[in-house]
Amino acid sequence: MTYLVQIIAAVFSAIGFSLLFNIHGRKLIITAVGGAITWGVYLIVFTQTENVFLACFVATMAIMAFAEIMARIAKTPVIILLVPMLVPMVPGGDLYRMMTNLVMDNSGQVRFYGHQLVMEVGAIAFGIIVISTAMQLILKMHAHITEQRRARH
């Protein structure tokens, strides 16, 4: 039940940020669906492995793949869809907890949340890179194959 509430909240946050970033029309629907996918995948991986890095990494890869596919269907740049869809994963909660612990002088907690923050941000960045590189490879291979086919005919 909490998971369902979280996913619905993720959808609304993605919609809200899409509006803030001036996204119109059917792209709004795509980003809303993407917000659900992001957090859905995150929750699935996190409940299975209890590993924040892995959860962020897999969720980012899933959403990046979704963004690459939808960008080709909707004929827009990938970043336009990706940015609002990634919003639910931005580690604002950990930043806040790190800050409050800093004020309350819990250096152990500060280190824990700071570490988590770095892991999450790194995982998101690597997830984006892995899929965008894979996508480029696929496109190159596709172009290569079609060219060879044409040459053979």
The contact set with other proteins (CB under 8 A) reads 2, 5-6, 8-13, 15-24, 27, 75-77, 79-80, 83, 86-88, 90-93, 95-96, 99-100, 102-103, 121-122, 124-126, 128-129
Name the residue nearer to other proteins (CB basis): 143 or 145.
Answer: 143
Name the residue nearer to other proteins (CB basis): 139 or 145.
Answer: 139
Nearest by Cα to 63 from 153, 150, 123, 141: 123
Name the residue nearer to other proteins (CB basis): 27 or 51.
Answer: 27
CA 10 from chain centre, in angstroms, equals: 12
Q: Write the DSSP symbol of residue 90.
A: S
Q: How far is the CB of 144 from other proteins (least distance, A)?
A: 21
Alpha-carbon radius of gyration of the chain: 18
Q: How far is the CB of 14 from other proteins (least distance, A)?
A: 9
132-141: Cβ within 8 A, 24+ apart: 132/64, 132/68, 132/78, 135/68
